[in-house]
Amino acid sequence: MSDDIRNPDRKMTLQMVAPESRHEQAYKYYLRKNVVPLVFLILCILGGYYSGLSLPFLINEIITRMARNSFIVISLIVPILAGMGLNFGIVLGAMAGQFGYVATANFQMTGFTGFFVTVLITVPLAIIFGWLTGKLFNQSKGKEMITGIILGFFANGIYQLILLYFMGNIIPIRVPTMLLSTGIGIRNTIDIKGMHYAIDNLWKIRLQIPGFIFPIIIPVVTLAALAALCIAVHFLFKTKLGQEFRATGQNRQIAEVAGIKVDRIRILAIIFSTVLAGIGQVIFLQNLGNINTYGSHVQVGTFAVAAILIGGASVTKATISQALLGTLLFHTLFIVSPLAGKNLIGDAMIGEYFRVFITYGVIGVALALHAWQAKQKRR
The answer to whether residue 101 sits within a structural domain is: yes
The answer to whether residue 316 sits within a structural domain is: no
Domain count, the chain: 1
DSSP string, 285-349: HHHHSEEETTTTTTTHHHHHHHHHHHTT--SS---HHHHHHHHHHHHHHHHHHHHHHHHHHS-HH
Percent of the chain at pLDDT exceeding 70: 89
Closest CA to 362 of 314, 306, 291: 306
Q: How many CB atoms lie within 10 A of CB 145?
A: 23
- Find the mean pLDDT for residues 49-61: 90
**241 has pLDDT over 90:** yes
The answer to whether residue 211 sits within a structural domain is: yes
**Whole-number mean pLDDT of the chain?**
87
- Find the mean pLDDT for residues 370-378: 63
- Find the mean pLDDT for residues 276-283: 96
- Give per-residue pLDDT as tens, 309-326: 888 888 888 999 999 999
The answer to whether residue 159 sits within a structural domain is: yes
**14 has pLDDT over 50:** no
pLDDT at res. 376: 62
Q: What is the CATH number of the domain that holds 151?
A: 1.10.3470
- Largest alpha-carbon pair distance within the chain? 79
The answer to whether residue 136 sits within a structural domain is: yes
Can you give the residue range of the structural domain that contains 276? Answer: 54-297
The answer to whether residue 358 sits within a structural domain is: no
Three-class secondary structure of residue 218 per DSSP: strand
Q: Which residue has the higher pLDDT, 81 or 378?
A: 81
The answer to whether residue 341 sits within a structural domain is: no
- Find the mean pLDDT for residues 193-197: 93
The answer to whether residue 340 sits within a structural domain is: no
Of 124-128, 221-225, 276-280, 305-309, which gets the smallest average pLDDT?
Answer: 305-309
The pTM of this model reads: 0.88
pLDDT at res. 38: 85
Residues 127, 274: contact at Cβ < 8 Å?
yes
Q: Which residues lie closer than 8 Å to 310 by C-beta, 6 or more apart?
A: 36, 37, 40, 325, 326, 329, 330, 362
pLDDT at res. 2: 44
pLDDT at res. 1: 46
